[in-house]
């Protein structure tokens, strides 16, 4: 079954360029970092810090795209725009969707660790 | 057959607030043999570049504490840091920001996720530029005064030439071959080194730049690459000091039972063509043209008239009354169509 959560072409290219031995470290760093960033998004939302919210979403977008988590990256990009517009009415719901998608990204990435 | 040189490894700094991005860039660069350091925000990056040497900085734009724009502005406005190429690493949709960064002085950019082939190509290109700048900086240090070196670094290096109003000086040791034959090679080299040290001090003390040394002769320029007020007076005062220095040095030589040395100095003022000449690997700041030739001819002519310092009319006309000159009349110098008016300068003014 093709993995729709992680783009396999992107991930395979990454493996090719960086070397197989590098992948476990990369994936575990991504999992830790992203979990921490999602937590920070929550905090930024609670404190109504739209600039922080935007920047953190941008960071998640960037690293997620690198690992091939394209859909998740697109969701983060949506949050980035919400932060940029300072539109906190939508931020809560959008963040909830991102949090919902996160466990699936985690599970999908585990598959790529030998 | 073209010879493509593989650039040697560089010291790189990766600045990104996202640990995954740092890891990815770091891995890519380490695979190419570079030494990589990391900073997670702009403040930390700035602290690192101020205390450690780097060949390239890969800089993220959006960061907490201090963003990429601020870091870039501080780096490009710092004389000690502005030679380090900065490559921006940005998201694809941030191309507007890239334009802003290039305007601020960034060398290049890469979009994230970073393509390993592009990463290699851009880093190597920037490394080459950094090495060239380092070489030029070294050259300027050797051939120019501190002020000139600073000015060149501020205005950027240009190999192109231009016309400049300047005063040119030639100086060499009379009968040096005879002296060299009378002593050991080690003594000759020691003599030359003392001579050059004294001459450099007199010339740079009057804001001149020594740009050529050949055997026992040297060429200096006043008023280039940086404009210099009263360059004629400065050049002549430098020449007087050179003669005084040699006289003191001679007292020393004679007390050691050695032959005293004599120097001749020629000075001319006017338009010169100034610029860097040579190749990219080895270039010097040079001045050429009629004025420079005239100074060389005047230096040679000091032997004929038996005077240590000869100057042209353009130089004489700008001197203060404190400097005493003697009209030596019109002479026909080698390579000159017309006769020129020449003047000797008295040393004890």
Each residue's pLDDT expressed in tens, for chain B with a length of 349 residues: 334 445 678 999 999 999 999 999 999 999 999 999 999 999 999 999 999 999 999 999 999 889 999 999 999 999 889 889 999 998 877 778 888 898 899 999 999 888 888 999 999 989 988 887 787 777 666 555 555 556 556 655 555 677 889 999 999 998 788 888 888 888 888 888 888 888 988 998 998 988 888 878 899 999 987 788 899 999 999 999 999 999 989 998 889 888 889 999 999 999 998 876 655 555 566 788 899 999 999 999 999 999 999 999 999 999 999 999 999 999 888 877 788 999 999 986 4
Determine, for residues A55 and B64 on separate chains, whether the beta-carbon distance falls below 8 Å: yes
pLDDT the model gives residue B274: 81
The answer to whether B11 and B55 are in contact (CB under 8 A) is: yes
pLDDT confidence band for A2 (50 / 70 / 90): very low
Among B279, B297, B290, residue whose Cα is nearest residue B342? B297
Per DSSP, helices labelled H in chain B are 19-31, 42-51, 68-76, 95-104, 116-143, 146-155, 176-181, 185-204, 231-255, 290-305, 313-316
Determine, for residues A66 and B21 on separate chains, whether the beta-carbon distance falls below 8 Å: yes
B44: CB partners within 8 A, 6+ apart: B15, B65
pLDDT the model gives residue B2: 39
Question: Candidates 1.20.120.160, 1.10.357.10, 3.40.50.150, 3.30.230.10; correct CATH number of A8-110?
Answer: 1.20.120.160
pLDDT the model gives residue B1: 38
pLDDT the model gives residue B349: 45
Rounded to an integer, what is the distance from CA B133 to the centroid of its chain?
12
Q: Give B 51-70 residues with CB within 8 A of chain A.
A: 62-64
pLDDT the model gives residue A1: 39
Among B151, B174, B156, residue whose Cα is nearest residue B265? B174
* Residues of chain B positioned with their CB less than 8 A from the CB of A59: 17-18, 62
Q: How far does the CA of residue B49 sit from the closest CA of chain A (Å)?
A: 24
Determine, for residues B27 and A18 on separate chains, whether the beta-carbon distance falls below 8 Å: yes
Among B138, B131, B168, residue whose Cα is nearest residue B152? B138
pLDDT the model gives residue B57: 97
Determine, for residues B23 and A10 on separate chains, whether the beta-carbon distance falls below 8 Å: no
DSSP B230: T
Rounded CA separation B3/A98 (Å): 53
- Best residue in B15, B20, B58, B70 to probe A by mutation, most A CBs within 10 Å? B20
DSSP states along B188-228: HHHHHHHHHHHHHHHHHTTT-EEEEEETTEEEEEESSSS--
Rounded CA separation A22/B208 (Å): 58
* Residues of chain A positioned with their CB less than 8 A from the CB of B20: 26, 29-30, 33-34, 63, 66-67
Determine, for residues B62 and A59 on separate chains, whether the beta-carbon distance falls below 8 Å: yes
Rounded to an integer, what is the distance from CA B139 to the centroid of its chain?
5
Rounded CA separation B136/B156 (Å): 10
Beta bridge pairs of residue B287:
B274
Q: Is the pLDDT of residue A66 over 90?
A: yes
Interface of A with B (CB under 8 A): 10, 14, 17-19, 22, 25-26, 29-30, 32-34, 52, 55, 58-59, 61-63, 65-67
* Residues of chain A positioned with their CB less than 8 A from the CB of B70: none
The answer to whether B71 and B46 are in contact (CB under 8 A) is: yes
Q: Is the pLDDT of residue A53 over 90?
A: yes
- Best residue in A27, A34, A59 to probe B by mutation, most B CBs within 10 Å? A59
Q: Which two tokens stand for residue B338?
A: 């017309």
Instruction: Return the domain boundaries, chain A.
Output: 8-110
């Amino acid at each position: 079954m093709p993995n729709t959560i992680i783009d396999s072409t992107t991930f395979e290219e990454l493996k090719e360029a960086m070397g197989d031995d590098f992948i476990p470290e990369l994936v575990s760093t991504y999992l830790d970092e992203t979990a921490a960033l999602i937590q920070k998004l929550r905090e930024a939302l609670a404190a109504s810090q739209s600039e922080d919210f935007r920047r953190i979403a941008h960071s998640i977008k960037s690293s997620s795209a690198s690992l091939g988590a394209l859909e998740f990256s697109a969701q983060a990009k949506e949050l980035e725009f919400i932060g940029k517009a300072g539109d906190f009415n939508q931020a809560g719901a959008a963040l909830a969707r991102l949090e919902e998608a996160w466990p699936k990204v985690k599970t999908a990435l585990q598959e790529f660790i030998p | 057959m073209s010879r493509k040189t593989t650039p040697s490894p560089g010291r790189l700094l990766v600045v990104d607030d996202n640990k995954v991005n740092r890891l990815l860039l770091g891995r890519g660069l380490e695979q190419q043999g570079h030494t990589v350091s990391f900073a997670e925000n702009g403040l930390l990056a700035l602290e690192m570049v101020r205390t450690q040497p780097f060949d390239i900085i890969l800089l993220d734009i959006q960061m907490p504490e201090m963003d990429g724009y601020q870091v870039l502005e501080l780096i490009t406005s710092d004389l000690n840091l502005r030679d380090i190429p900065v490559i921006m690493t940005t998201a694809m949709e941030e191309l507007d920001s890239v334009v802003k960064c290039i305007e601020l002085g960034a060398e290049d950019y890469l979009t994230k996720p970073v393509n390993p082939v592009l990463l290699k190509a851009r880093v190597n290109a920037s490394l080459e530029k950094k090495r060239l700048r380092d070489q030029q900086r070294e050259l300027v240090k050797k051939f120019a005064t501190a002020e000139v070196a600073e000015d060149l670094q501020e205005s950027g290096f240009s190999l192109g030439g231009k016309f400049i109003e300047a005063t040119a000086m030639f100086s060499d040791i009379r009968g040096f071959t005879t002296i060299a034959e009378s002593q050991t090679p080690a003594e000759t080299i020691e003599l030359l080194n003392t001579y050059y040290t004294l001459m450099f001090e007199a010339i740079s003390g009057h804001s001149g730049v020594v740009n050529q040394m050949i055997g026992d002769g040297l060429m200096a320029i006043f008023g280039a690459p940086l404009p210099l007020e009263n360059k004629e007076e400065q050049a002549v005062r430098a020449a007087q000091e050179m003669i005084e220095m040699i006289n003191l040095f001679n007292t020393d030589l004679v007390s050691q039972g050695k032959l005293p040395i004599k120097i001749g100095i020629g000075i001319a003022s006017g338009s010169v063509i100034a610029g860097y000449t040579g190749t990219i690997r080895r270039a010097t700041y040079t001045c050429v043209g009629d004025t420079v030739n005239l100074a060389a001819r005047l230096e040679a002519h000091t032997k004929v008239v038996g005077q240590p310092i000869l100057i042209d009319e353009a130089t004489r006309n700008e001197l203060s009354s404190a400097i005493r000159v003697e009209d030596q009349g019109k002479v026909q110098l080698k390579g000159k169509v017309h006769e020129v008016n020449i003047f000797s300068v008295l040393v004890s003014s």
